[in-house]
Amino acid sequence: MITWLVRVLLRWPPLRRLFWRRWYQALTKRQQQSDFVFMNYGYRILDGSEVAPDLDEEHEPQRNWIQLYHHVASKANMTGKQVVEVGSGRGGGAAYLHRYLKPADMLGIDLASRAVDFSNRVHGADGLTYMQGDAEALPLEDASCDVVVNVESSHCYGSMPKFLAEVSRILRPGGYFCYADLRTVDGAAVLHRQLEGTGMTILHRGDLAENVLAALREDNAMKLDYIHEVAPKWLWEPLETFAGVEGSAIWRGLESGDTVYPHYLAQKPAA
Ligand SMILES: C[S@@+](CC[C@H](N)C(=O)[O-])C[C@H]1O[C@@H](n2cnc3c(N)ncnc32)[C@H](O)[C@@H]1O
């Protein structure tokens, strides 16, 4: 009942923004474990021709979450570039991009200040920082970065067009936008029109739903064990829903095809 009510209320943009902001602030306050650094549903490689990223042994347990970033962001060559991630969460994605894809500067931006403090404490390094900011009013100069990465965050925003206008504004001419997130089937059609409306060139478009569902299946037992170990019993249900465990709305939506997972690589026209 509570989960259903939350889903209905989240359809209203101002409440959606407020809810997610509070949720991620509270989650970071409660969960300070430095091994919990990703909050996406993951990506399992299903196509034999796709090359899996080489990971250090210590990052193997995070493989599916990392692979989502790798799949979404590695098509834009970011070596030596200035890269911004919007919605960087607990910082694991930006830390992966910084460590393996070698941008000159990697900046993670998130609305939840506690997640930003956590990320700076756990991952902060030369060329890798995190700052608080809103996707709909990014605290950056016009034409100040080469690549914008956005992974499983935009469903929290009040206005997708405002966010896309901000992406276009902060990208240099020729810069890349690497994007992926959940949508309903109708929502994905709206998203496509919104992206076309930015004037950016869509270089690649895909649906990652099958890969995301395969990752959910693979990680299900591990997530349940983790939640049951670190959280009090009264929090199990909302955390399991949020984590997309077997039987959750996310899992069922991806399985039935009602939920899709659009991925785009777009490019701002050269000046
Ligand atoms: C599902 S988490 C994904 C985090 C990260 N991208 C990952 O894959 O681990 C969504 C993140 O988006 C952030 N977020 C929500 N609304 C935002 C906004 N308006 N501006 C910036 N970040 C926002 C949340 O605070 C949260 O950290």
What is the per-residue pLDDT across 93-133, written as a single tens digit (0 to 9) for each? Answer: 999 999 999 999 999 999 999 999 999 999 999 999 999 99
What is the per-residue pLDDT across 131-174, written as a single tens digit (0 to 9) for each? Answer: 999 999 999 999 999 999 999 999 999 999 999 999 999 999 99
Measured in angstroms, how far is the CA atom of residue 271 from the centroid of ligand 1?
A: 31
Q: Can you read off the two tokens belonging to residue 84?
A: 């911004």
Q: Which of 122, 120, 150, 147 is nearest to 135 (CA)?
A: 150
Q: Is 135 in the pocket of ligand 1 (CB under 6 A)?
A: yes
Say if residues 7 and 249 touch (Cβ distance below 8 Å).
yes
What CA–CA distances, in Å, run from 55 to 40, 60, 96, 149?
Answer: 18, 6, 10, 20
Q: What share of the chain is helix, strand, coil (3-state, %, to 5)?
A: 50, 20, 30
Residue type (1 letter), 59: H
State the closest ligand 1 atom to the C-alpha of 150, by its place in the atom list counted from 1: 6
Measured in angstroms, how far is the CA atom of residue 217 from the centroid of ligand 1?
A: 23
State the closest ligand 1 atom to the C-alpha of 23, by its place in the atom list counted from 1: 25
Helices of type H across 74-170? 92-96, 113-123, 160-170
State the closest ligand 1 atom to the C-alpha of 69, by its place in the atom list counted from 1: 8
CB neighbour class for 99 (10 Å; exposed up to 12, middle 13-18, buried from 19): middle
Residue boundaries of the structural domains of the chain? 2-219+258-267
Task: Give 1's pLDDT tier (boundaries 50, 70, 90).
Answer: very low
State the closest ligand 1 atom to the C-alpha of 39, by its place in the atom list counted from 1: 9
Q: Is 111 in the pocket of ligand 1 (CB under 6 A)?
A: yes
Measured in angstroms, how far is the CA atom of residue 23 from the centroid of ligand 1?
A: 10
**2-219+258-267 carries CATH number 3.40.50.150:** yes
Interatomic CA distance for residues 74 and 82, integer angstroms: 14
Ligand 1, from 151, 153, 183: best to mutate by most atoms within 8 Å of Cβ? 153
Supply the mean pLDDT for the chain. 92
Interatomic CA distance for residues 27 and 112, integer angstroms: 10
Output the residue whose Cα is nearest ligand 1's atom 13: 87
Interatomic CA distance for residues 174 and 91, integer angstroms: 26
